[in-house]
A and B are shown apart, each in its own frame.
Chain A
Amino acid sequence: ELKVEQNPLFLSMQEGKNYTIYCNYSTTSDRLYWYRQDPGKSLESLFVLLSNGAVKQEGRLMASLDTKARLSTLHITAAVHDLSATYFCAVVTGGGADGLTFGKGTHLIIQP
């Protein structure tokens, strides 16, 4: 059974600081996703990581993937209040099904 673990689950940080969210998964997968969710809303796709060593950046967010370690990171640079949200990583369940197994999410609060 595929397990996806995120940490931390809760993070409060100040604007301007840097921080990293970690996502570990238990079995081989060829795709890893990062999503953002605002309260009461659905998911917003941030990144799709397909291969070992993949790195993608969008604004103050950067995601990377190490398939050998089964680890992905989401790095926040010089955080701003607008990035406050819950961030989920998700991995393809496998077996060709394409359904996703999600981590528990990281609730991020960025204080001015």
Chain B
Amino acid sequence: GAVVSQHPSWVICKSGTSVKIECRSLDFQATTMFWYRQFPKQSLMLMATSNEGSKATYEQGVEKDKFLINHASLTLSTLTVTSAHPEDSSFYICSALPLTGKREAFFGQGTRLTVV
């Protein structure tokens, strides 16, 4: 089956620093990847749609200057949380939509971000 790998699985950073999270599709190509955020005991919220070779599309209320998305290749999208604050602590999950086959995106294992 299709595998999506996120790195790191967890990260602790100091307030004011930036953190980069990688999302890789290991055995397929994806022009589109999605980034979701999940706060404890809540549902997943779509943050942005990442398109290879073009600018990401952000959902309403998500600051594009704070959550920088780069999708430079067909197998890699990155999310950088800039100037992180404790309220950015969350579980970040990516998914990748294969170029071919069924139109079902596959999820990474998630990244637990804690800002102290």
Query: Chain A residues in contact with chain B, CB under 8 A?
Result: 31, 33, 40-43, 45, 48, 88, 90, 93, 97-105
Contacts and interface: CB of A to CB of B under 8 A. Distances in A.
Contact of A48 (B36, B45, B104): B104
Interface stretch (B11-19, B64-72, B74-82, B106-114): B106-114
A43 B107 contact: yes
Given A43-B93, A45-B104, A48-B104, A100 B109 contact: no
Contacts of B93: 42-43
A99 B49 CA distance: 7
Nearest to B105: A98
A99 B43 contact: no
Contacts of B34: 98-100
Contacts of A43: 44, 93, 107
Interface string B24-67: 00000000101010000011111001000000010100000000
A101 B67 CA distance: 20
A99 B57 CA distance: 11
Contacts, number: 50
B82 to A, nearest CB: 22
B46 A100 contact: yes
B108 A42 contact: yes
A93 B109 contact: no
A40 B9 CA distance: 11
A99 B103 CA distance: 11
Contacts of A88: 43-44
A65 B58 CA distance: 30
Contacts of A31: 103-104
Contacts of B32: 98
B108 A104 contact: no
Given A31-B103, A98-B97, A98-B105, A103 B110 contact: no
A100 B43 CA distance: 11
